[in-house]
Amino acid sequence: MNVLIVYAHPEAQSLNGALKDFTVSHLQAAGHQVQVSDLYAMQWKAAFDADDIVGGPQGQRFDASRDSQYAYANGLQSADIAAEQDKLRWADMVIFQFPLWWFSMPAIMKGWFDRVYAYGFGYGVGEHSDARWGDRYGEGTLAGKRAMLVVTTGGWESHYSARGINGPIDDILFPIQHGLLFYPGFAVLPPLVIYRTSRMDQARYASVQQELAQRLDRLATMAPIPYRAQNHGDYLIPALTLKEDVAAGQSGFAAHRM
């Protein structure tokens, strides 16, 4: 497989750095082709703004969606954005690895999504009408590809359990897994979450590495999270609510899983 690792940690000698290096060597030893977008090392520009439109915005003011569409359609995107889109086209599998910072990804990675998921690439794909609301949530540019999060946390597993104070990890990761990965078409594998990272000694590190290796060995075969596809009959269009008889009585994030 062609595997892209989009990675955000500012320090090479961190736990994340060690796990990323291990992932690269393990995948290469198994015969996969690997590319890494090491966002801090690349000094990735996180903010999407008018400078990302070669020649400047189309109109009198910068319009983030319209100018993104214009730049994408006309080959006028910043070179770094176009290069990341090419890596995504190349990849069969994308691993997003980051430490959980304030219950989400580090800002530099959020900026990767803001800039790389251009209008026409990440969103605004397919027919938009009262009968069809685009190719998204299970369809889109990245359909046929797989993605997985590798996330480290300071908090304990119990803090992220069903009744834990931080909220369930599936809920915390829902905007990323469903909103950023399933939305443009990725099949999303269950995340690998490494909790309580301050309690890491050599013995625990060895077991974490082993767990990661087992995940990497199953990238092609593991069942994805069964999110409901937008255009497969579970949702009313254009309201985009679940039909009454689908997940009857349920609401919230969990209702969008089969």
Ligand X SMILES: Cc1cc2nc3c(=O)[nH]c(=O)nc-3n(C[C@H](O)[C@H](O)[C@H](O)COP(=O)(O)OP(=O)(O)OC[C@H]3O[C@@H](n4cnc5c(N)ncnc54)[C@H](O)[C@@H]3O)c2cc1C
Closest contact distance (angstroms) between CB of 4 and ligand X is: 20
Nearer of residues 100 and 180 to ligand X, judged by Cβ: 100
Is the Cβ of residue 85 or residue 153 nearer to ligand X in the bound state?
153
- Which parts of this chain interact with ligand X (CB under 6 A)? 9, 14-16, 18, 99-103, 152-155, 197-198, 200, 202, 205
DSSP character string of 149-173: EEEE-SS-TGGGSTT-TT--HHHHH
Minimum distance, C-beta of residue 106 to ligand X, in the bound complex (Å): 8
56 vs 154, which CB is nearer to ligand X?
154
**How near is the Cβ of 102 to ligand X at its closest, in Å?**
5
- Nearer of residues 11 and 245 to ligand X, judged by Cβ: 11
Give min distance, CB of 216 to ligand X, in A. Answer: 17
Nearer of residues 71 and 108 to ligand X, judged by Cβ: 108
Whether 153 and 99 have beta carbons less than 8 Å apart is answered as yes
Angle between helix 107-116 and 79-90 (nearest 10): 90
CB of 185 to ligand X, least distance (A): 28
DSSP annotation of 225 reads P
| Rounded CA separation 136/122 (Å) | 9
Select 202 or 251, whichever has its Cβ closest to ligand X: 202
**Least CB distance from residue 13 to ligand X, whole Å?**
7
Nearest one of 72, 52, 56 to 125, comparing CA atoms: 72
CA distances from residue 30 to 3, 5, 33, 213, 242 in whole angstroms, order as listed: 12, 16, 9, 11, 42
Torsion angles phi and psi, residue 250, rounded to 5: -100, 150
Q: For residues 113 and 50, what is the distance between their CA atoms, to the nearest angstrom?
A: 16
Q: Give strand ranges (E) for the chain.
A: 2-7, 33-38, 93-99, 146-152, 187-188, 192-194
Q: Which two tokens stand for residue 222?
A: 């593991």
Q: What is the spatial distance between Cα 91 and Cα 93, in angstroms, rounded to a whole number?
A: 5
Would you say 57 or 99 has its CB closer to ligand X? 99
Q: At its nearest, how many Å lie between ligand X and the CB of residue 160?
A: 8
